[in-house]
A and B are shown apart, each in its own frame.
Chain A
Amino acid sequence: MSRIQQHLSAAKEAGKKILVAYVVNGDPFPEATLPTLQKMVEQGVDIIELGVPFSDPMAEGPVIQKGHERALVHHTSLKGTLQLVKTFRKTNQTTPIVLMGYANPVERFGYHAFAKAAAEAGVDGLLTVDLPPEEVVDLKKELDANGLDNIFLLAPTTTVERAKKIAALASGFLYYVSLKGVTGAGHLDVADVKQKLDAFGELTDLPLCVGFGIKDPATAKAIAELADGVVIGSVLVEKMGQMEKNSADEIANAVGEIVGGIRRAI
């Protein structure tokens, strides 16, 4: 059983909602990431979603775009991200880590080499925004062979018929994109989310986590009542951007505080 499945089954047994939290590796500077991840764990995060910076992050809103840009100033790479995970694993062998990013850096690394290196580093899953089910086939074979979960997205525009196919391929958890748009957008409609989740929930036994547009404890609470878990990202990345001049520990504490607030709310 994968680390993600173990962790999520345990959460389910305890009747706990799943909290997934996203930051960009290397944002706002490389030394900030490790203490931030550790603080997030302390404050009750279940799954770390670690953003791999890319020059052209097409699905991101302005806040996370800037996070990618800040990280790239320091030449943060996919290789460097695996190195960071390796370091994190020295003191934490239990918290699942999913890398979230775009196809091209993985293509450049090579699917086979990447899957092997990621598994060795202690990565548990991969979410590649621009690899929908039709395009992820070759990469997924390599991920499967190395015990890594490929995390699939469901969107408000996904038909039930298509969602069925996606659910059949998925492992770990399913990520429901709560709105049409980019990360951090401000028009999340809870009633809409409920309607879609009711339909999708019947298709799978995997946990459904909802992300995009969850900005504060109140929204997180409202969404957590409908889903198995929530994903937060922009709210953390925004804080990290504001604290560019602060120390790594100060950044880690501030991010931890937000994570803790959401944890208590859901």
Chain B
Amino acid sequence: MNSKETVNTASVDYAQFPDSEGRFGIFGGRFVSETLIHALDELEDIYYRLKDDPDFQAEFDKDLAHYVGRPSPLYFAERWTRELGGAKIFLKREDLNHTGAHKVNNTIGQALLAKFTGKKRVIAETGAGQHGVATATVAARLGLKCRVYMGSEDVKRQALNVYRMKLLGAEVFPVTSGSRTLKDAMNEAMRDWATNVDDTFYIIGTAAGPHPYPELVRDFQCVIGREAREQCLTQTGKLPDALVACVGGGSNAIGLFHPFLTDTSVKMYGVEAGGLGLDSGKHAAPLNRGIPGVLHGTRTYLMEDENGQIIETHSVSAGLDYPGVGPEHSWLKDIGRVNYVAINDDEALAAFRKLTLTEGIMPALESAHAMAYVEKLAPQMSKDQIIIANLSGRGDKDILTVAALDGITV
């Protein structure tokens, strides 16, 4: 399928996407079995009714302010900027949110939708455990039953988050099929949803999956970009020149990018997981090396073999270890509005240490991919230019992974 479009990005009306069929160009859509169609129709109806409802928005904003702790700061990383000797670097501090990452913006929003549907049970898939924790958190707060699907490999790698979810009253269900990671957890969550669709709300963790999920997750995460835009104007008097965010499924990136899409002077960089290197084949960079296909309810760039089988991915960061990506990113790549680059495991680990030592901020390994790209980008830009990088999560959860790589048992 030819996915390339010739588009003048300055004239694109980004607010019109997804279209009425849930598509971003050829990407997106609703590739699910018939059983789930009704639930997706219902979700779409509810969401479209509530998204512009002032009461719903007020409740969402109130939760973001008083429960999550928003707005998150836009922090000028002065020492790091000086060391790199180029553009001024501002960090959007999503790591300071309640539960320690951007994920909670979305789970708050979807939990409000769940509340509105009257469904008493929520399910989620999780890789590193951040979305699982954010889901278990809102479920605890609203008194909803919660089950989190997690690949059994990830259960082993992320023991701390598993216990955190259990403390929050969630049931963590280890998935032993396929590659036993995030993609298999998502398969299993879909199966649960098809079985229990009458009483269960599926809280998808990233801007992927069947329509309307990519749209509603994006909308809930856009608070990141809206705040950053306003904060940047207030603090510097102008718009940033570049935005940088890591991309697994891509919810933190789309949340930062989307409110700037029509600002044609703002360049955008989505950073994928380069793993052991793009040429090694062991990475999680479908936008750099994949081709369009269909998985988990959406058409998007995928890592697959010549027979259309999804292949296993590799990244030091469990949260980026996914063979697909949100469909809107696939579209933004093809129309040329966003540049998608890759950062290897080693570069991300180095940036993790660098930011910790230079600014006293320990980034999640996912976010460290964005930080590593900033290290490359900033020196190429002039001192009067501005980069906003999304510090999407804090690194506490990764301390054991980093220690193990150092040969240390904590």
Interface residues of A (CB under 8 A from B): 54-62, 65, 69, 72, 75, 77-79, 102-110, 129-132, 134-135, 152-159, 162, 177, 180-182, 185
Q: How far is the CA of A187 from the CA of B292 in the complex (A)?
A: 37
Q: Is B285 interfacial (CB-CB < 8 Å)?
A: no
Given the complex, which residues of B lie within 8 Å of A177, measured CB to CB? 33-35
> B35 contacts A155, CB within 8 Å?
yes
Q: How far is the CA of A131 from the CA of B36 in the complex (A)?
A: 12
> B293 contacts A107, CB within 8 Å?
yes
Q: Is B359 interfacial (CB-CB < 8 Å)?
A: no
Given the complex, which residues of A lie within 8 Å of B296, measured CB to CB? 56, 58
> B35 contacts A156, CB within 8 Å?
yes
CB distance from A155 to the nearest CB of B (A): 4
Q: Among B178, B306, B307, which residue has its beta carbon within 8 angstroms of that of A56?
A: B178
> A107 contacts B34, CB within 8 Å?
no
Give the residues from 68 to 91 in chain B that come closer than 8 angstroms, CB to CB, to chain A. none
What is the chain A residue whose CB lies nearest that of B22? A134
Q: Is B402 interfacial (CB-CB < 8 Å)?
A: no
Q: Is B308 interfacial (CB-CB < 8 Å)?
A: yes
Q: Among A56, A61, A107, A153, which residue has its beta carbon within 8 angstroms of that of B1?
A: A107
> B177 contacts A154, CB within 8 Å?
no
Interface residues of B (CB under 8 A from A): 1, 21, 29-39, 177-178, 183-184, 187, 190-191, 194-198, 292-297, 302, 304, 306-311
Q: How far is the CA of A103 from the CA of B210 in the complex (A)?
A: 14
Q: How far is the CA of A59 from the CA of B187 in the complex (A)?
A: 8
> A56 contacts B183, CB within 8 Å?
yes
Given contacts A56-B187, A69-B178, A134-B21, contact A154 B34 (CB under 8 A): yes
Given the complex, which residues of B lie within 8 Å of A75, measured CB to CB? 307
> B31 contacts A135, CB within 8 Å?
yes
Given the complex, which residues of B lie within 8 Å of A108, measured CB to CB? 293, 304, 306-308
* Interface of chain A, main secondary structure: loop
> A55 contacts B38, CB within 8 Å?
no
Q: How far is the CA of A180 from the CA of B191 in the complex (A)?
A: 10
Given the complex, which residues of B lie within 8 Å of A79, measured CB to CB? 307
Given the complex, which residues of B lie within 8 Å of A61, measured CB to CB? 191
Among all A-B residue pairs, the 6 with the closest Cβ atoms: A108-B308, A105-B308, A181-B195, A157-B38, A77-B307, A155-B35
Given the complex, which residues of B lie within 8 Å of A102, measured CB to CB? 294
Q: Among B21, B31, B194, which residue has its beta carbon within 8 angstroms of that of A180?
A: B194
> A155 contacts B307, CB within 8 Å?
no
CB distance from A199 to the nearest CB of B (A): 15
Show 18 A/B contacts (Cβ-Cβ < 8 Å), sorted by A: A56-B178, A56-B184, A57-B187, A69-B177, A77-B307, A78-B308, A107-B293, A108-B306, A110-B1, A132-B37, A134-B29, A153-B33, A155-B37, A157-B39, A158-B38, A180-B194, A180-B196, A180-B198
Given the complex, which residues of A lie within 8 Å of B177, measured CB to CB? 62, 65, 69
Given the complex, which residues of A lie within 8 Å of B195, measured CB to CB? 180-182, 185
> A155 contacts B33, CB within 8 Å?
yes
What is the chain B residue whose CB lies nearest that of A182? B191
Q: How far is the CA of A76 from the CA of B170 in the complex (A)?
A: 39
> B38 contacts A159, CB within 8 Å?
yes
Given contacts A55-B178, A59-B194, A180-B195, contact A109 B308 (CB under 8 A): yes
Q: How far is the CA of A57 from the CA of B310 in the complex (A)?
A: 11
Given the complex, which residues of B lie within 8 Å of A78, measured CB to CB? 307-308
> A55 contacts B309, CB within 8 Å?
yes
CB distance from B268 to the nearest CB of A (A): 28
Q: How far is the CA of A198 from the CA of B42 in the complex (A)?
A: 25
CB distance from A72 to the nearest CB of B (A): 7
Given the complex, which residues of A lie within 8 Å of B307, measured CB to CB? 75, 77-79, 105, 108
